[in-house]
């Protein structure tokens, strides 16, 4: 071994030992302090007060029911309020199971990175090396897309391809066959665009590498080692527990139950098919908070896997919705200098939220069964919990406080991706800062499947690189980011709902 290589290896070993010692010191301090009844500086979790706050917010925002789990002071605190189904009146309890939607992507990502860490997969080799049947509409792109690009949402694959391929164990293999006609939102590697389709490809990779179904691999690689006994993927498993029913409704309205418990097919598993209790979601997050260690100190995730998933890979055009950067599976943010990770999830009538700040030992999961104002409830709870338990301010998102002059003409026109069309037009500024209207509707095979939606956009910030607007449909809605920007080749895009859509006219 050369002297230079010896020094580099020694440096890496020293860094890993330092991380382990730092985490061990924190864990030992918490354990000793709890044994001695001494505070470690973090305020005690006031269960009664947070229970009352949860119930108050659900009632104010017409949300039928929710479960909240919080990792703080080394313990997981579980709360629940409301009903699982407005038709039955069955109450939500901490052991109730909800659909967690796209939070499932973090689990699929963890399996892929685990397999790569074990040497069974190369994240930077073409997907076709491990999955020869993989193809998208662009043959050239098919040959070059890598698992890393799938993980960090830079593959460019259209993100919302849904295909019910049945309930059989071959559902993902059949999904991949059907995805051959799926197009691209953008060339690979040039921008971040959220892709559920990409995560189903990752799920199929897990199947091919392990020789198991995605569901079986999930249990063996993650659920069993982490003790996640209230996490599952199939409806026959969910039936063993108190299960939430989804409800649909606009903000401020009383929502009504969905016609089916779950309208997603089994093939949606890797990108959105997991059901769990809020506490189990926090237990999964805790593995990352604690550097891969279980509460008893047992190593459940290699440190390299945790580091890889929490390393900033891609800067987000939209810096607010799920974080400023994306790692391998998680949205990454930094609040008051403290780095964190998280993900949101939604199915038909159920919404899930996860945020964690490892250096503060904090993780928060809120699972809800409907109501258009669920994002407001989560934002309020997350902001208050982070401030009290971690001394961290969660940033808000809203239009500029002072009138902002923006030339809107470059943004006007149509933006289209497969199945969806956005039309940007001038709005009514009433003599104030320039505003826009965003009309969102189905196109191609989805044309006419839902009533067009309209957001009113107000400027937030403007630089030569991008212009940010805050959008909402009405005053009861939370503000969401809408970002206009251009790629290096000059092509114009809008980033909306964490997806990139090219200007088409």
Instruction: Please choose, from the candidates 296, 280, 289, 171, the residue with its C-alpha nearest in 3D space to the C-alpha of residue 234.
Output: 171
Give the separation between CA 249 and CA 271, rounded to whole angstroms: 24
Give the separation between CA 198 and CA 161, rounded to whole angstroms: 9
- Is beta strand 75-82 parallel, antiparallel or unpaired with respect to 98-99? unpaired
Active site residue 102: yes
Question: DSSP secondary-structure letter at 358?
Answer: G
Give the separation between CA 484 and CA 50, rounded to whole angstroms: 39
CA atoms within 13 A on the CB side of 277: 23
Give the separation between CA 480 and CA 466, rounded to whole angstroms: 16
> 14 Cβ partners below 8 Å, 6+ apart?
none
Secondary structure element (H or E) that encloses residue 379, with its range: helix 374-390
Catalytic residue of the set 2, 96, 102, 196: 102
β-sheet with 65-72: strand ranges across:
75-82, 65-72, 362-368, 350-357, 338-347, 331-335, 325-326, 314-315
β-sheet with 98-99: strand ranges across:
98-99, 275-276, 231-232
Are 192 and 152 in contact, with CB atoms under 8 Å apart? yes
Are 80 and 67 in contact, with CB atoms under 8 Å apart? yes
Q: At what angle do helices 374-390 and 47-60 cross, to 10 degrees?
A: 160
Please report, for the chain, how many H helices and E strands are present, in that order: 15, 21
Instruction: Please choose, from the candidates 24, 1, 26, the residue with its C-alpha nearest in 3D space to the C-alpha of residue 362.
Output: 26
Active site residues: 102
């Amino acid at each position: 071994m050369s002297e230079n290589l010896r020094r580099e290896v020694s440096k890496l070993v020293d860094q890993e030992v330092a991380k382990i010692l730092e985490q061990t010191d924190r864990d030992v301090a918490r354990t000793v302090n709890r044994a001695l009844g001494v505070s470690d500086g973090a305020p005690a979790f006031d269960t009664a007060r947070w229970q009352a706050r949860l119930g108050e917010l659900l009632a104010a925002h017409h949300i039928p029911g929710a479960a909240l789990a919080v990792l703080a002071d080394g313990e997981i605190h579980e709360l629940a309020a409301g009903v699982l189904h407005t038709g039955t009146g069955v109450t939500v309890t901490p052991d109730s199971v909800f659909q967690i939607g796209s939070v499932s992507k973090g689990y699929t990502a963890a399996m892929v990175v685990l397999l790569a860490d074990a040497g069974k997969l190369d994240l930077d080799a073409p997907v076709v090396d491990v999955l020869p049947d993989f193809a998208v509409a662009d043959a050239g792109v098919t040959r070059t897309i890598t698992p890393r690009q799938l993980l960090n949402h830079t593959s460019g694959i259209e993100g919302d391809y849904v295909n019910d391929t049945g309930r059989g164990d071959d559902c993902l293999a059949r999904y991949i066959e059907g995805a051959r006609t799926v197009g691209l939102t953008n060339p690979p590697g040039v921008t971040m665009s959220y892709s559920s389709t990409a995560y189903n490809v990752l799920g199929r990779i897990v199947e091919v590498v392990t020789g198991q179904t995605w569901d079986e691999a999930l249990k063996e690689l993650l659920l069993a080692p982490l003790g996640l006994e209230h996490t599952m993927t199939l409806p026959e498993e969910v039936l063993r527990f108190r299960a939430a029913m989804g409800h649909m409704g606009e903000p401020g309205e009383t929502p009504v139950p969905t016609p089916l418990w779950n309208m997603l097919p089994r093939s949606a598993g890797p990108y959105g098919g997991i059901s769990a209790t809020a506490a189990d979601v926090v237990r999964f997050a805790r593995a990352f908070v604690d550097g891969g260690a279980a509460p008893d100190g047992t190593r459940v995730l290699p440190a390299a896997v945790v580091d890889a998933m929490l390393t900033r890979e891609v800067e987000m055009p939209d810096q607010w919705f799920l974080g400023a950067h994306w790692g391998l599976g998680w949205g990454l943010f930094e609040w008051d200098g403290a780095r964190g990770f998280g993900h949101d999830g939604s199915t038909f009538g159920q919404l899930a939220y996860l945020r964690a700040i490892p250096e503060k030992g904090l993780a928060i999961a809120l699972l809800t069964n409907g109501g258009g104002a669920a994002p407001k409830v989560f934002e309020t709870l997350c902001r208050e919990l982070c401030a009290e338990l971690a001394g961290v301010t969660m940033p808000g998102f809203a239009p500029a406080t002072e009138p902002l002059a923006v030339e809107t003409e470059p943004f006007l026109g149509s933006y289209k991706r497969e199945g969806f069309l956005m039309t940007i037009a001038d709005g009514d500024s009433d003599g104030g800062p320039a505003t826009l209207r965003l009309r969102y509707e189905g196109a191609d095979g989805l044309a006419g499947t839902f009533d067009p939606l309209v957001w009113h956009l107000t400027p937030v910030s403007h630089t030569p690189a991008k212009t940010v607007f805050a959008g909402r449909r009405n005053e009861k809605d939370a503000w969401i980011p809408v970002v206009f920007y251009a790629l290096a080749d000059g092509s114009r895009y809008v980033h909306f709902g964490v997806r990139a859509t090219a200007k088409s006219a």
